[in-house]
Amino acid sequence: MEEEKQVGLEDYIDIVWRRKWIILLSFVSVLASTTYFTFTRPPTYEAASILMVEAEEGMNLLDPRGSLFGPLAKPVEFFERIMESPSYRDQVALKVTERLRNPHGILLPMDEALDLVEHNLTLNTSKTSDFLEIKAHADSPLLCYLLAASGTEVLKDRSRGVDKEEAQSVLDFIEDQKIEAQQKLEAAEKKLQLFRERVGIVGNGEEGGALGKLIELEKELAGVQAQKELAQANLEAYDLRIAQVLPDKTAGGRETEGLSREIATLESIRANLVRQPGEHHVEVLSLDKKIAEKKKKLVESIVQDTDVRSSGMQVEIAQLQERRTAEELNIYVLESQERYYENLIEKFKAEHPSMLENAIELAQLTRARKVYENMYNILLEKGEEAKINASTGTGGVKVVEKAREPDEPVPAHSKRNLVLGAMVGLGLGLGIAFALEYMDNTIRTAEDLSRTLGLSVMGTIPDIQKLENMQRKRSGKKKRKGGGERDDPGLISRYETKDMVVESYRSLRTNLQFASVDKPLKSMLISSPGPMEGKTLTVANLGISFAEMDKRTIIVDADLRRPRQHKLFGVGKEPGLTDYLVGTASLEDVILPTEVDHLSLIPAGRGSPNTAEMLGSNRMSDLIRKLISEHDIVLFDSPPLVPVTDAALLASKMDGVLLVTKYASTHKDAVHHALEILEKVGAPTIGAILNDVEVVRRLGYYRYYYNNYYYYTYHEDEKKEETKA
C-alpha cells in the first residue's frame, strides 16, 4: 500500500540539485535573452498630451444634455471608441505622413504609419478623474511627437464633429417647430384682425374695465399654455435621446411593453379627468404620482434588459431620466396653473353675464395670438443659441497640456530588466524542474522503495564508475589491489578494504543475514524488473562479500539468455549449468573455483533454446537441493522478472528473492509488476536494493556525513603511510 510521503526541505534541495542543469539552462537562456534585448533595442521616446473632459452647457429645449440639473460630460468610453475606430487611425496616419513629407517625397509609408498608430498610440484614462492622456512612443523623438499631436487633434475634431451632428439634428427639429408655430401665429393674427374689422374695433381693443381684466386673464393663461407646450417639447426630446442611447432590442421586452401600456392608460384617464367639470385635484395628483412611478420602472427595466456595460452610458441614462421626471413635474405645475386661470376666466364670465359676446371672443383671439407669438419667439431664440453652440463648441474636451518633442529617450531600466530576467529564468527553471519531478515515475530514493512500494530496503549501492572518478579527483590517483587500471567498474575484490563500494556490499550482506533470524537464508535469487539494472554485478560482489566471512559460497549463473558471470571472474563459459541439466557434464565438472577463497561459480554453459523448461525441470530442483546441502550460501543470477518467465520458475524454489532496482532508471510500475509475478508463484520476497546511486547527490544526512567521514579517514591514512615511507 502506498503511503503519502512527507516532503521536507531536504527533498526540495535534492530536486534542485538533481535538476540543476535544467534550472541553469533556463536561467542562462532567459537572462541572456533579456540582456540582449535590453542592450540592443533602439532607444524609445515618449510624448503625451493631457486633456480634460469638459461638462458642456446645452439648451433646456430639445438638447438632452441641457442645463436643468447642471451640465453633462461625455463618458470616457466615448473617446475610447473614437480612438478604436479605423477612420480615426486613418486620419492620424494621414496627418503624420503629410507632416513628414519633404521635397523628395514621403518619409513614412502609409502602412507603417497605420501600424504605428495602432500599436504605439494609446489613451490612458481614470475612472475617478476627468483627465485623459494620449501617449505615443516611437524610436524617433519627432515621430513620437507627431503621433501624440496628430492623435490629439483628430480626437478633438472627431468629438466636435459628433457635437455638430447632434446640434444639426436639434436645429432641424427647431426649424420644423418654428414653421409650425409661425403658421399658427399667422392664422391667429389673421383671425384677430378679421374679428376687429367685423366689429369695428380700432387698435388693440383693450379699453380697460371689465373687458381689460378679462383680456389680462386671457394673456396670463396664454403664457402658461406656451410654457406648457415648450415643456412638452422638452419631454419629447428626452424620450428621443433615451431611445438613441439604448439599443433597439430593448423595445421588444415584455416588461417594457407592459409598463408602456400601463402608462398610456393612466395618462388617458388623467386627460379625461382633467377635461371633466368640477374639482379633481386630488385624483389628478394621485394619477400623476402613479404615472411617475411607472415611468421610473420603465427606464429601470430598459436599462436592465439592455446590455449596458458602459458606466458612462448608465450615468447618462440616469441623468436623462431624472431630467425627464423633473420636466413631467414642471408640466404638472403648469397644468395646475392652466386650470387656475381657466377657473378664474369661467368665474369672471359668470359674474358678468351682460358682457358682450364680442368682447369675450376678442379676449380669446388675443390669447391665442399671444400663445403662438411666445412659442415662436422662444423657438427663434433657441435656434440662434444652437447655432452659436455648434460653431463654438469644444467637443467636450479641452487640451490642458500639449505634446512636446522629447529631448531624451525613456530610461531603459537595465538593472531592473536584468533582475526581472534573472527571477523569471530562475522561476521558469524551478517550475520545469518540479514539473519533471512530478512526472518522473522512476525510483530515486530508498523511501520510494519502502513507502511507495512496501519493500524492505536491504541496501544502497553507489555508482561505481562515478565513485572512482570522484576518488581520482580527491586523491590525485586511483589505487586498487593488484595494481593496474580497469576500464569498467568491477568486483569488490579489486578494491581496497576501506573503499565505499566494499562497505556498501558488506552492509547489504549484514542486512541479508538479519533478514531472517529464525531460518537463515541459504538460497537466494537475485533478479530485477528489467534488464541493465546491475543484478549480475550485485550477485558477484555479494558472493565475494559472503566468501570473505569464510562461508562456502557458490554463484549459479542462471541467466541463460545473457550470461556474464564467467566474464567477471575470468573463467570459461563451458561446461556449465545447461551442460549439467542435459546430462553432458557432472556437477564436479561445472563447479569452477574463482580467485576469491571460499567462492565457486557454475557458469551458464552452452546456449539452449528452451531455457524455461530447463530451469523448471526436476533436475534443476535436485541441483538446488544438492548445492544448499554442500554450501552455506547459494546465489542465483537470473534473467529479469518482467520480460521472461525464467526467474519466476526459480523464485518459488528459493529461500528468498532479492530485487535489484537502478537509481533513476527502474520505473515504479515495473517493480509493481515484478512483485505481482512473485506473489503469483508464491515466492518469498526479502526486499530490494537501490543500485547505481549517485554519490555526489545528497542521500540523507547519514549518507552525507558518512561520505565525508570516509574520505577524511581515507586521506588521513594515506598521508600517514606516505610520511612513514
pLDDT tens digit sequence for 20-78: 999 999 999 999 999 999 888 889 999 999 988 876 654 444 444 444 334 556 777 88
Lowest mean pLDDT among 99-108, 551-560, 604-613, 694-703: 694-703
Answer yes or no: is pLDDT of 654 > 90.
Answer: yes
pLDDT the model gives residue 552: 97
CB 390 within 8 A of CB 62: no
Question: Which CATH number is associated with domain 448-696?
Answer: 3.40.50.300
* Start-to-end C-alpha separation, the chain: 58
Can you give the pTM of this predicted structure? 0.55
Q: How confident is the model at residue 608 (pLDDT cuts 50, 70, 90)?
A: confident
pLDDT digits (tens, 9 = 90+) for 181-200: 777 777 877 777 776 666 55
Half-sphere exposure for 215 (CA within 13 Å, toward CB): 17
206 or 198, which is more confident: 198
pLDDT the model gives residue 674: 96
What whole-number distance in Å separates Cα of residue 380 and Cα of residue 385?
A: 9
What is the average per-residue pLDDT within 141-165?
87
What is the average per-residue pLDDT within 511-523?
88
**Which grid cell is 140?**
524617433
Half-sphere exposure for 358 (CA within 13 Å, toward CB): 10
pLDDT digits (tens, 9 = 90+) for 312-341: 556 666 667 767 777 777 787 788 788 888
pLDDT the model gives residue 676: 95
User: What single letter denotes the amino acid at residue 181?
Assistant: A
pLDDT the model gives residue 196: 67
pLDDT digits (tens, 9 = 90+) for 342-362: 888 777 777 665 555 666 666
414 or 526, which is more confident: 526
pLDDT the model gives residue 658: 97
DSSP β-bridge partners for residue 122: 135
Provide long-range contacts, Cβ within 8 A and 24+ apart, for 223-230: 223/370, 223/371, 223/374, 224/334, 224/337, 224/338, 224/341, 225/338, 225/371, 226/370, 226/371, 226/374, 226/375, 226/378, 227/334, 228/331, 228/334, 228/335, 228/338, 229/371, 229/375, 230/61, 230/375, 230/378
pLDDT the model gives residue 365: 73
What whole-number distance in Å separates Cα of residue 245 and Cα of residue 252?
A: 16
**Which grid cell is 697?**
547527490
Q: How confident is the model at residue 707 (pLDDT cuts 50, 70, 90)?
A: very low
pLDDT the model gives residue 206: 44
Answer yes or no: is pLDDT of 725 > 90.
Answer: no
CA trace torsion 165, 171, 172, 178 (10° rounding): 170
pLDDT the model gives residue 477: 57
pLDDT digits (tens, 9 = 90+) for 292-313: 777 777 666 655 554 444 455 5
Length of the chain: 725
Of 385, 382, 401, whose CA–CA distance to 393 is shortest? 385
Lowest mean pLDDT among 43-52, 262-271, 446-455: 262-271
What's the gap between Cα 339 and its chain centre?
Answer: 66
Place of cell 507632416: 99
| Mean of all residue pLDDT scores within the chain | 79
What is the average per-residue pLDDT within 554-568?
95
What is the average per-residue pLDDT within 629-653?
95
What is the average per-residue pLDDT within 537-560?
96
How large is the C-alpha radius of gyration of the chain? 52
Exposure letters 316-350 (e unless 16+ CB within 10 A, then b): bbebbbebbeebbebbbebbebbbebeeebeebee
